[in-house]
Amino acid sequence: EVQLVESGGGLVQPGGSLRLSCAASEFTLSGYEMNWVRQAPGRGLEWVSYISTTGTTRNYADSVEGRFTISRDNAKNSLYLQMNNLSAEDTAVYYCVREKRYFVWSHAFDLWGQGTMVIVSP
């Protein structure tokens, strides 16, 4: 089955760090741009970060810029999110999301993982 499986979530203290992983199954990750999207409890979706197919281009939401780092290992078919200096506002379900590009200006988040919960609390 084509799917994305996240791991690495959990409880962390404010100021702490966490590294999320996302494993792709039944498709080759290197052919896709990838993103992380998060959802705080009872709230809407928030785009967090983007990475190009080779990892050359990365982009971040203002809310995480300088604290989070997205990376990928195409040989391992995996995506990562290193999160540092975490605060309560980072508490959310984090989704690994595949981006399908139809042509230059047409793309969509066509495959979502099940999400991994991150709780930042003393």
Among 21, 47, 69, 77, binds another protein (CB under 8 A): 47
Structure tokens at 52: 């190009």
Three-class DSSP category at 29 = helix
Applying CB under 8 A, which of residues 13, 54, 59, 85 lies at the interface with another protein? 59
Sign of CA dihedral 119, 121, 78, 99: positive
Under the criterion CB under 8 A, does residue 17 sit at the interface with another protein? no
The answer to the question of residue 112 lying near another protein (CB under 8 A) is yes
E strand spans, the chain: 3-7, 10-12, 18-25, 33-39, 45-51, 58-60, 68-73, 78-83, 92-103, 106-112, 116-120
In this complex, which beta carbon is closest to another protein, that of residue 66 or of residue 122?
66
Of 9-17, 44-52, 73-81, 84-92, which part binds another protein (CB under 8 A)? Answer: 44-52
Q: What residue ranges bind another protein (CB under 8 A)?
A: 33, 35, 37, 44-47, 50, 52, 57, 59, 61-62, 95, 100, 102, 104-110, 112-115
